[in-house]
Amino acid sequence: MRSDPIRLARRWSAAAPRAVAALVMAAVIAAVLPGATAQEKAAEKKEPLNPAVIASARAKGMDPHEKVFQESSYPTAATCGACHTQIYKEWSSSSHAYASISPMFHKFEQTINDLSSGTIGSFCVRCHQTVGTQRGEERQQPLWERSQVAREGVTCITCHRVNQEFAKTNGQRIIQTGDISKPVTGTGKGSVINQVIAQKDSYPIATSPKERGTQIHLGVVKFDQIGKSEFCVSCHQVAVHPGIKLEVVWDQYRASPSLPAGTTCQDCHMGRVPGIAAGYARAPSAVINGKEVNPQRKHSNHAFYGPGYSIAHPGLFPHNPKAAETKIQDWLLYNWRSGWGEADFEDKVEKGDIKAVFPKRWADRIDREEARELIKENLALLEEKRKLRKAVLENGSRLDGPFFDTPPAPGADMKFTYIIKNLNPGHNLPSGSLGAQPEIWLNVALIAPDGKKVWESGYVDSHGDMADLHSLDVRAGKIAHDDQLVNLQAKFLTQGVTGTDREMYLPVNFDFDQLPFIRPAAVPTTVLNHPPGIRMEQRSIPPLGQRVASYTIPSKLMTQPGKYKLAVRLRSRAEPMYFMKFVKATAEMERSMNQWMVDFHERTSLFNVK
C-alpha cells in the first residue's frame, strides 16, 4: 500500500481547501518519490540485515549475506517486467505463474506427502517451485516464508536461464544463476540486444553496476530447444514410481499428426490464436524507459493458453507488484467477497448500517479501499483469462447436433445424438495434469412446451459433482445416478483384493496399499503393459477424433405436443469436487472452483412434436 506520508497527506487533504490540498500532496509525493530509477526506489525500501539474523548465520558457519546473494542470483519476473511489460502482464495470470500460488496444489501435495509418509520428497515442488527447490527452500515451507521468486512458480528464469536439454526428467532442470545482467537463453531469432547495448545512452541502460540507468540482461544465448516441444516435456510428462503416468500429453503429442507436421506446443499455446497454429503476433521485444525495442519482432504470448484457472485469493493472484507490497497473511484476512473497500459498503459501515469488525491490518477505510482497487485490477485480468480459456476450448473442438434417429413424436421414445469432435491435432481432449483431474462433460436438458425442464443429463449434485459413482449425493441416495452421462474425464482403475476394478481419484488402492507413489511393481510393467493393480481408463478424444453422445428420452416425458427446446453445453472444470474434498480443500476453494469453470459451445435447438 502507499507509504505513510502519502496516506496522512491524503487524509489531511480531504478536509482542506482543494488548492491547498493539491500543493500539500504534490510536496509530499515529491519528497517521498524523488527522481530516481525504479530499481533505486526498490533498493531504498530494502531493510538492512537484522543483527540477530547475522549472528545466527555466523553461529551456523554461514555467510550472513548468502540470502542477499541468492536473491540477486535469481531475478524475479517483476524485475524482468520493468522492460518486458507485455510479456509480464500475459504471464501474470497464466497457469505457469499460478504453479506455486495454487492452494489446490498445496492441498494435494501435502495430502500425498502425508499418505506416503513424506517419501515423495520434492517430486512435485521441483516443477511447481523450481527456483525455490534449487535455492534449498524446504518442501513444506508456506508461501509467506518463501522467496518472492519461488512464489512466482514457473517464472522467467525457470525457462530463460536453462541451457541444457533435460527431456523426460520430471522437472529436474538446472537454472543458471546470476544477477539481472547475466545473459538469458532464447531461440536467438531476431535478437537485437547487441544493438541496444551499442546505443546504451539513447535508452539509457547500465552495462555495469557502477553506471546509472536501467539494469538489463547483457546478452542472449542461443538455445534451440526452448523453441521446441521437447523443452516442455520435463514438466508435462510425469511418471510415478509404480509405473503409471499422471501426465501423458507428450505421449499423445508424439503419436499425433502435429509431430510429423512440425507443429510445436509453442505454436498453439503461445501463438496469435489460442489453441491454433496460426502464426504469431508482432510486438516489441521490450520497452526500455518508454522506447520500443525491435517493434515488429515475433511475439510469443506468455499467457500459455489452456483451460486451467486460479482459485486463489485475488489479492495474491494474478501477480501484481503493487499487491506484493502487502503480506500474504494480510491478504488472506481481506474479505473481498463481503464488499470491503466498495464505496457503498464503506459508507454503510460509517453510518452504522453495517456492523463489521476488521483485522488490525484492515482497520483503516483507506487501506481497504486501496486494496479493493488492486482486487478489481486482478479480477479484470482473471476475466480476460476466462475469455482465453473459452477460446482455446472452442477453437480446439466442435459440437454438432442434435441428430434425431426418427422425427420426435408424442408418446414415443426420443432418440438423438450429438457428435463431439477434437479439432486439435496435437493431443487429446482433454489432456493436461494428473490424468484424472481435468473434467469436460456434456450437459443436455429438454424443456417442454410449457417451459418446464422434463429431462437432463450432465446435471450436478449439491457439491457440484457430476452424478456418477463419485458423487456423494448419489452414494447417499439423494439424487439418481446419471446413466446417460457423457464424461471425457480419464479415470484411474485400481484392483481390489478380490481382483475387481473400481474407479479411484489417485492410482492407489487404499484398501491394502497406504503408500502411494513409492512401491515398485513386483511384475515389470513391460509384461502387463500397465502396473499390476493400476491402470488408467482414457475417455478423452484423441487428436482429430470424435465421440458420439447418444441419448434416449423415455416416452412418458414426451406427452405434450408443441415446441420443445434442447439446451446443450460442454463444461470444463479444473478439479472434481470429490477430489477437492479428498485433499481437504476449504469451502472457499470449492466455491471458486465452480465459480470460474467455463461453459462452451452453448446453444439451444428448437423442434416441434406433433
Least confident of 194-198, 236-240, 364-368, 412-416: 236-240
The whole-angstrom distance between residue 267's C-alpha and the CA centroid of its chain comes to: 19
pLDDT band at 115 (very low <50, low <70, confident <90, very high): confident
Per-residue pLDDT tens for 509-554? 776 666 655 556 667 666 766 667 778 888 999 999 999 999 999 9
Q: What does the pLDDT read at residue 154?
A: 97
Quick check: is 4 in a domain? no
What is the span of the domain harbouring residue 63? 35-299
480: domain CATH number is 2.60.40.10
For CA atoms 482, 577, 315, 302, the dihedral sign is negative
Domain end point (choices 332, 352, 386): 386
371 and 270 in a common domain? no
pLDDT above 90: residue 605 = yes
| CA nearest neighbour of 378 among 319, 311, 302 | 319
Cα 21 from chain centroid (whole Å): 44
The pLDDT of residue 580: 94
CB 153 within 8 A of CB 96: yes
Does residue 234 share a domain with residue 120? yes
Each residue of 226-250: pLDDT tens digit?
Answer: 999 999 998 888 887 767 788 889 9
Answer yes or no: is 126 within a domain. Answer: yes
- Of the pLDDT bands very low, low, confident and very high (cuts 50, 70, 90), residue 177 is very high
Q: How many CB atoms lie within 10 A of CB 178?
A: 16
Tens-place pLDDT, residues 116-150: 888 888 889 999 999 999 999 999 999 999 999 99
Q: How many domains does the chain have?
A: 3
The secondary structure of 68-113, three-state, reads HHHHHHCCCHHHHCCCCHHHHHHHHCCHHHHCCCCHHHHHHHHHHH
- Asked if the structure places residue 305 within a domain, the reply is no
Residue 29 has pLDDT above 70, yes or no: no
HSE (CB half, 13 Å, CA atoms) of 275?
Answer: 22
Whether 469 and 340 share a structural domain = no
Question: Among 63-67, 532-536, 558-562, 583-587, which range has the highest average pLDDT?
Answer: 583-587
Which one of 386, 404, 429 terminates a domain? 386
Segments of 481-597 assigned E as strands:
486-487, 491-495, 501-504, 534-537, 546-553, 562-573
Statement to judge: residues 68 and 173 lie in one domain = yes
Q: How many residues does the chain have?
A: 610
* Same domain as 456, residue 333: no
Same domain, 331 and 285: no
In-domain check, residue 13: no
Least Cα distance to 440 among 463, 466, 414, 474 occurs for 466
Residue 249 CB partners (closer than 8 Å, separation 6+): 236, 237, 427, 431, 432
Q: Is 371 found in the same domain as 429?
A: no
| Spatial distance between the Cα atoms of 156 and 76, rounded to a whole number of angstroms | 7
Same-domain pairing of 358 and 418:
no
The answer as to whether 520 is a domain residue is no
Q: Which residue has the cell 449434485?
A: 461
Does residue 21 carry a pLDDT above 50? no
Alpha helices by DSSP H, listed for 338-466, are: 343-351, 365-395
**Domain final position from 367, 386, 405:** 386
**What percent of the chain stands above pLDDT 70?**
83
To which residue does cell 538492512 refer?
48
Residue at 44 is within a domain:
yes
Whole-angstrom distance, CA of residue 262 vs CA of residue 240: 29
Residues 352 and 379 occupy one common structural domain:
yes
The pTM score is 0.85
Whether residues 353 and 441 share a domain: the answer is: no
**Residues 351, 436: one domain?**
no
Residues 542 and 422 sit within 8 Å (Cβ to Cβ)? yes
Please state, in angstroms and rounded to a whole number, the distance separating the CA atoms of residues 347 and 345: 6
339 located within any domain: yes
What is d(CA 115, CA 123) in angstroms, rounded to the nearest whole number? 14
Least confident of 39-48, 379-388, 442-451, 577-586: 39-48
Rg (CA), the chain: 28
Coil, strand or helix: which one is 422? strand
ω into 430 cis (within 30 of 0): yes
234 vs 171: CA distance, rounded Å: 5
The whole-number pLDDT of residue 166 equals 84
Do residues 547 and 577 share a domain?
Answer: yes
Q: Is the dihedral of CA 111, 112, 113, 115 positive or negative?
A: positive
Neighbour tally for 22: CB within 10 Å: 12
- Determine, yes or no, domain membership for 315: no
Long-range CB contact pairs, 135-144, < 8 A, 24+: 135/70, 135/74, 139/113, 140/110, 140/113, 143/100, 143/101, 143/328, 144/327, 144/328, 144/329
Which residue would you say has higher pLDDT here, 64 or 596?
A: 596
